[in-house]
Amino acid sequence: MPKAKEKETYRSRLKAVGLRHTMPRERILSHLDRKNVHPTAEELYQGLKRKGAPIGLSTIYLNLHVLREHGLIYEFKDPKGETRFDGWTEPHAHLVDLETGKVVDLPLKDLGLDREAFLKEVSGKTGWEVKDFRLELRGTPPAKE
Amino acid sequence: MPKAKEKETYRSRLKAVGLRHTMPRERILSHLDRKNVHPTAEELYQGLKRKGAPIGLSTIYLNLHVLREHGLIYEFKDPKGETRFDGWTEPHAHLVDLETGKVVDLPLKDLGLDREAFLKEVSGKTGWEVKDFRLELRGTPPAKE
DNA sequence: ATCATTGCAAACTGTTTGCATCAAG
DNA sequence: CTTGATGCAAACAGTTTGCAATGAT
């Protein structure tokens, strides 16, 4: 009988790219894997420390680097020029407030966009094999009342 | 009679955002305003020096910062994590080679995409007033023969 | 048992800042 | 003239590295 598809855990995601599963990595991935969470390295460190997690700042840096290289998280510069990280796994774009600098996650489905279809379409038009993409929208949010 | 539309020069672009026109700024904008040119601060410095331009590295940094804040240039992290700058004015996306890290400019029209129409569409769907966007496509280029 | 990973402290490097001079408007 | 911009050298801050201890497979 065919093996059932494994449930996607952080452990399995790490294994898939040849990385060992460790507490720091579990904690980092888990912390980043939420909507609208894009901390700097330092903020992530403080956040984990506050939860009582024993972890070193250099371990944070090292793993952010490794995880990014393996495509498990995304690194970007916010409008203030600070380096931030994003590990939310739902396909999404970023809405960036030009006034405040705030970065908000926008699920692609809210744009009526299908990730796979888009990748295919762009691949056809460019000749490249496009495997992933990032979309950053910059502007001002609707006035709230 | 209505004044004719000014030709867009670096001077006029600087003026539009309230910045003085100076030699360093002219040189930086001019150097960056080409397809497939995305230097680091250091590379830009070396490039201008090689052309015989008298300019200081701190001036480069200062102006890259100021020009970015005013939206005249774009700053991004390449796959190696280096900070690079882009000042090409034709609306375009970035094609990033996942193997080599090379970044290639792709005019939006090659994607059959109209910038203004897209901004309008996205504004409608999100409720934000979206004024600009960045699209980064990641994958592998067509095998050349 | 083996070898990747951790985490501290030290080192490093890209970037920013203080300040006197200079030049754009 | 007035005020912002330049650019050197010094200071800084975020990030990386060396290495002994640890822990995942």
Min Cα–Cα distance to chain B from A52, Å: 30
Nearest CB among A77, A112, A133 relative to B136 is that of A133
Can you say how many angstroms the Cα of residue B56 is from the centroid of all Cα atoms in its chain? Answer: 21
- Match 């793993």 to its residue by tokens: A63
From chain A, the residues in CB contact with B130 under 8 A are 95, 137-139
- Match 């680091």 to its residue by tokens: B40
State percent of chain A over pLDDT 70. 95
Instruction: Output the distance from B57 CA to D10 C1' rounded to whole Å.
Output: 14
From chain A, the residues in CB contact with B81 under 8 A are 65, 68, 75
Strands B92-97 and B129-140: parallel
Min Cα–Cα distance to chain A from B77, Å: 7
Nucleotides of C under 7 A from a protein CB: 4-10, 14-18, 23-25
pLDDT (0 to 100) of residue A107:
98
Q: Which nucleotide is nearest to B19 (CA to C1')?
A: D4
Distance in angstroms (rounded) separating the CA atoms of residues B12 and B21: 8
Q: In the 8-state DSSP scheme, what is residue A18?
A: T
Instruction: Output the distance from A44 CA to C9 C1' rounded to whole Å.
Output: 21
Distance in angstroms (rounded) separating the CA atoms of residues B65 and B73: 9
- The rounded mean pLDDT for chain A is 93
Q: Give me the average pLDDT of each 10-residue run along chain B (145 residues).
A: 69 97 98 97 96 94 96 90 94 94 96 97 98 96 86
Distance in angstroms (rounded) separating the CA atoms of residues B41 and B85: 8
pLDDT (0 to 100) of residue A80:
84
Distance in angstroms (rounded) separating the CA atoms of residues A96 and A117: 25
Nearest to B14 by CA among B37, B2, B30: B30
φ, ψ of residue B97 to 5 degrees: the values are -80, 115
Helix (H, G, I), strand (E, B) or coil at B133: strand
Go through chain A and tell me how many residues it has.
Answer: 145
